[in-house]
Amino acid sequence: MPVGRMDEALKHSGTACGRPAAQPPLRKANGPGGRPKHDCGALDMRIAKDGTWHYRGSPIGRKELVCLFASVLQREPDGSYWLETPAERGRITVEDAPFIAVEVFWRRCEGRQCLTFRTNLDEMVTADADHPIRVAIDPRSREPRPYLMVRPGLEARINRAVFYELVALAEPETVAGREVLGVWSEGVFFPIDEVPAESRITNAAAE
């Protein structure tokens, strides 16, 4: 069974929850010894919107195993998600983002603000130029959908409670001629919302 073979390979990877996984190598045409890498095709595996991993319709209950699968998760330029070990690879379904940012920590880093996020798999990621925060707008509800880059191509959706904390920390800045609210981290400003119209009117009157 493809997932079983991947499971065996992952059991010997040594990756643990709560520690950033080593970056998986870029996809190679061949596996160990020059043998062709086995393409398992589409696996019956899904990451739900709430960050829960499912196999054959059932949640994967072992967090350690989820962490191991997550350590070899990659995203292709076409947007598809793959689990890839040195010997084989298989495509999985991701409903939204593969991770969830469930907690944020504020601290000072050499005199400037740093925001570090904890994901649902206990990976710690500090927002910076390589790990930006972005906010997408749902085309139907118009609600903001905030994300944090965890690894190249792999994002964590920032949950509602954490986003409210970011809103509380937000301050106004002018970006490309627009007044926006955003947060600073590691010297980088990340817009998260527009400045409310009433605030712009109040500020203009004060000036």
Residue 177: pLDDT band (50, 70, 90) is confident
Name the CATH topology of 99-206: duf1285 protein fold (2.30.270)
Dump pLDDT digits (tens) for 40-57.
889 999 999 999 999 999
- Residues forming CATH 3.10.540.10 domain(s) in the chain: 2-94
> What pLDDT score does 18 carry?
53
Would you say residue 207 has pLDDT above 80?
A: no
What is the average pLDDT score of the chain? 82
Whole-angstrom distance, CA of residue 123 vs CA of residue 24: 16
Residue 131: pLDDT band (50, 70, 90) is very high
Q: Please indicate, yes or no, whether the overall pTM of this predicted structure exceeds 0.75.
A: yes
Whole-angstrom distance, CA of residue 165 vs CA of residue 104: 8
- Residues forming CATH 2.30.270.10 domain(s) in the chain: 99-206
Residue with the larger pLDDT of the pair 206 and 88: 88
Whole-angstrom distance, CA of residue 74 vs CA of residue 117: 20
State the CATH architecture for 2-94.
Answer: Roll (3.10)
Dump pLDDT digits (tens) for 69-80.
999 999 999 999
Give percent of the chain above pLDDT 90.
Answer: 63
- What distances in angstroms separate CA 172 from CA 62, 64, 160, 165, one per listed residue? 43, 41, 21, 16
Placement of tokens 């690894």 in the chain? 151
